[in-house]
Copies of this chain bind each other. A is one copy, B any other.
Amino acid sequence: MNDEDRPAAKPKRADARRNEESLLDAAAAVFVASGVEAPVRDIAAAAGVGTATIYRHFPTRADLIIAVYRHQVEACAEAGPALLADGPSPYAALGRWIDLFVDFLVTKHGLAAVLRSDNAGFDALHAYFLDRLVPVCTRLLDAAAEAGEIRADVEALELMRGVGNLCIGADRDPHYDARRLVALLVAGLRRA
């Protein structure tokens, strides 16, 4: 949880630490303004550093994106079990949780697009999202399947990729309602 004061994973120089933080702040701001695919130079300029400094701290863009959104992904992951415990039914909990996931994706300019499955060069981002969220989704899915509310032959990874893909372009185009389509997909899970 606490990123700032963990016990000296790497004894970095003070200026390096400061720059990393500036970079995270600047990246967050630029991502909001211009999307997660904003030019590296823009982020560097916003942070008041050179372009190389970005690559020094975050070797790939995926690393930077992960660092910026880590907290929110954690929050989403932790919401899963909570919803399952509180909700009226596993299926309802699944629906709610997926809504959270969709909300997260559509409010981050272009995040869903870089998360898509055919995207080489973002392996780390892909892996992080999947490692963190697929187990949560699996648990919800299993619970709903055991309760007999949905069919049992759909994997969490499969579902999440579908949801992620449906969220692509949900920002930008106000006529495209990703939530509705995701709801349709989730409705398709129901037992016949």
The chain A residues found within 8 Å of chain B, CB to CB, are 110, 113, 116-119, 154, 157-158, 161-162, 165-166, 168-173, 175-177, 180-181, 183-189, 192
Contact = CB atoms under 8 A, between A and B. Distances in A.
A184 B183 CA distance: 11
A113 B117 CA distance: 11
Nearest to A161: B176
A53 B90 CA distance: 59
A168 B165 contact: yes
Contact of A181 (B110, B173, B175, B185): B185
9 contacts: A113-B118, A117-B169, A119-B169, A158-B177, A158-B180, A165-B169, A184-B189, A187-B187, A188-B188
B154 A184 contact: yes
Contacts of A110: 118
A192 B192 CA distance: 10
A121 to B, nearest CB: 13
Nearest to A153: B180
Contacts of A181: 158, 161-162, 165, 185
A150 to B, nearest CB: 10
Contact of A187 (B168, B169, B183, B188): B188
Contacts of A117: 168-169, 172-173, 176
A172 B183 CA distance: 27
Given A110-B118, A161-B181, A165-B181, 11 more contacts: A117-B169, A117-B176, A118-B171, A161-B176, A162-B185, A165-B166, A166-B166, A168-B168, A181-B185, A184-B185, A185-B188
B168 A116 contact: yes
Across the A-B interface, the 4 shortest Cβ-Cβ residue pairs: A118-B169, A188-B188, A184-B188, A187-B188
A185 B165 CA distance: 13
